[in-house]
Amino acid sequence: MTLPLPEGDFKAYLFDCDGTIVDSMPLHYKAWRHILDQHGCPFPEEQFYAWGGRPIREIFHTLNQLHGLQMPVEELASTKEQQYFNKLDQLQAVPEVLEHIEHAHGKVPFAVVSGSARESVTKSLAALGLLDRFDTLVCAGDYTHSKPHPEPFLIAAERLGVAPADCVVFEDTDMGIDAAKAAGMSWVRVPQPHDRVPA
């Protein structure tokens, strides 16, 4: 395996979606820039990646506070998601993670644990023919506290009927890995697009 697992006999695999299963972060960033440029709102690429895993509305609220703006959150969240959906024909899987999905599918249960809306997660996975691989999806709206709080991962473990200590998490962000640690789970860091070794 290109991404080695930590030591352990894991009974469930929990995957973040964007930037982990699907190589969607560059497409999401283009969608963000399309919207934010119209409102004169800065959003450097390094900040975008640092905030990976945050729900979209939370990001809009934070940007409004940081820059003294009054962007209409609900309207722009919907527009931003549509911009991303328009790019789904360009979407690809992250090969190192797909390797684990193909190898372990049917042997242990899988969950997706994402800060994105359910519609975004399902459309991304369906675009790659992967939606039916997962036993449950935990998305924005399914929990009260987003990553780095452990709640999203703990909900997934409970749904799968697996103890947190028996779960391994695949994540591409520090916030996601902090959430996995707080949940008492093992984890695998998925490289960001600029850190991946070309095949």
Q: Give the residue numbers marked as catalytic.
A: 16
Strand 12-15 vs strand 186-189: parallel, antiparallel, or unpaired? unpaired
The answer to whether 124 and 24 are in contact (CB under 8 A) is: yes
Write the CB contacts of 133 (distance below 8 Å, at least 6 apart in sequence). 101, 105, 110, 125
Segment (H or E) for 170: strand 167-171
* CB atoms closer than 10 angstroms to residue 13: 24
| Residue 144: burial class (beta carbons within 10 Å; 0-12, 13-18, 19+) | exposed
The answer to whether 31 and 80 are in contact (CB under 8 A) is: yes
Give the whole-angstrom CA distance, residue 113 versus residue 120.
Answer: 12
Q: Alpha helix (H) ranges present in 55-117?
A: 56-67, 73-85, 95-104
